[in-house]
Copies of this chain bind each other. A is one copy, B any other.
């Protein structure tokens, strides 16, 4: 297998040549029902990936299929599954897919079967949640737990929070909501203070999540929480569990009811399928719901093995994104779920994508000369229509779009107004936007003229269920992975967060050694309290 820079491939040159001669895709004439019906790839849990409104023709598809072969994308994915050191910067395996199923060879290290270890830890999580739900475990005053509060930041916050919100209404409607969940992430003390003032402390269980056990924000918030519990006369060790690595200071610590383990092969932004997401979600909704989520993700991981890009939605989504980023030169992409339940899913994808592929060196640490990951942003529709869609329709730049939609609502609670229910209005808007962006509309008044040519994809399905959430989660993880393979970057480290941490420590120690940093610190009151 060869790891080579994207711009050294034949496919890169061919795509660049094709783009140079490219006149654009003529949506006005070519986006018709036949194309819409045909340009779809199946995803896990019954979802479909529709790419009819992407600016790709047969020639582009053929070259992207060639690129997938030349960059050996499926072989690299298989190597990852089999436990190769894909995270070259930190010299680590990358095993988050193993959390949801065995798609490759068993990964054995020093005689330890890592898949079994992961499954064992999840099993312990499920049993723990069961004890909470059966009231075998209660708070220190004997009252049952009604609330779970996750303490974590970055991947220990954004993914789990997005998944919780994605399923909260579904669980309520299905009678599966067991505990309310809240999240404390920011080191801003107002975050922890407000949440601690709003939850019933006696009936709250806290899930402390830090793989290293040294995350500054999370440790500060842990002490913030413990202080409140102690002041309320509660025994914090009966109200707190840890999710961490076996080598962290949080492991096997009597300060916690229990600790659940992950290892260095689960990156923070890829950790939602581990105990990092599994603990809070199993407590909130029950282990069965989380298992369904994992099953949806596992099915997606399996589909991602197909070398035919027209049958592999994650691979196709990735390659179209590369076409847009490197050859159509679009520096951003917007994620637009037409589902209020996915309100924070764009924030999770923003981390997943930008932290994974926001890189300027290749996997061997050499600087590269082509663009990598785009800026990702988004808000749910129809809200976005009344906000930033103006720029998307009529701005001077083109932003590729990724829509997500579902036939059915989660709560089965709707009202009919003017002959249609709200869910129908929601989806009529979604369909209308796809076509409005693609085809535009000519008007003799340029202010009312829509140029069109704004490409979008659509992921759609019947209903946002746990399996569907798992399918979405894994789809985007695998998409980002494939793009990283194309760009020949390491999508699994994050050296870009280190410098800020180092400078922060220097500031707090009072020896920044930089006069500008001292001046900024003084302006912000650092050192005065």
Contact = CB atoms under 8 A, between A and B. Distances in A.
Point out which of A187, A192, A347 has the most chain B C-beta atoms below 10 A from its C-beta. A187
Interface string A211-233: 00000110111011001000000
A105 interface: no
A371 to B, nearest CB: 5
Interface in A466-493: 490, 493
A504 B425 contact: yes
Point out which of A197, A389, A428, A528 has the most chain B C-beta atoms below 10 A from its C-beta. A428
A445 interface: yes
A193 B169 contact: yes
A396 B373 CA distance: 8
Interface string A58-90: 000000000000000000000000000000010
A396 to B, nearest CB: 5
Interface residues of A, number: 159
A388 B374 CA distance: 11
Given A188-B409, A508-B425, A36 B519 contact: yes
A108 interface: no
Interface stretch (A272-280, A295-303, A413-421): A413-421
Contacts of A440: 499
Contacts of A410: 190
A517 B188 contact: no
B382 A217 contact: yes
B504 A432 contact: yes
A354 interface: yes
Point out which of A391, A419, A446 has the most chain B C-beta atoms below 10 A from its C-beta. A391
A367 interface: yes
Given A394-B358, A523-B36, A422 B516 contact: no
A497 B389 contact: yes
Contacts of A526: 424, 427-428, 431
Interface string A350-370: 110011011111000111101
By Cβ-Cβ distance, the 8 closest A-B pairs, closest first, are: A358-B391, A154-B386, A407-B525, A432-B503, A393-B496, A377-B377, A358-B395, A351-B387
Given A224-B422, A351-B388, 19 more contacts: A32-B515, A33-B515, A50-B523, A169-B190, A169-B194, A189-B426, A224-B414, A332-B332, A355-B390, A358-B388, A359-B396, A373-B391, A376-B388, A390-B494, A393-B497, A419-B508, A431-B517, A435-B516, A435-B520
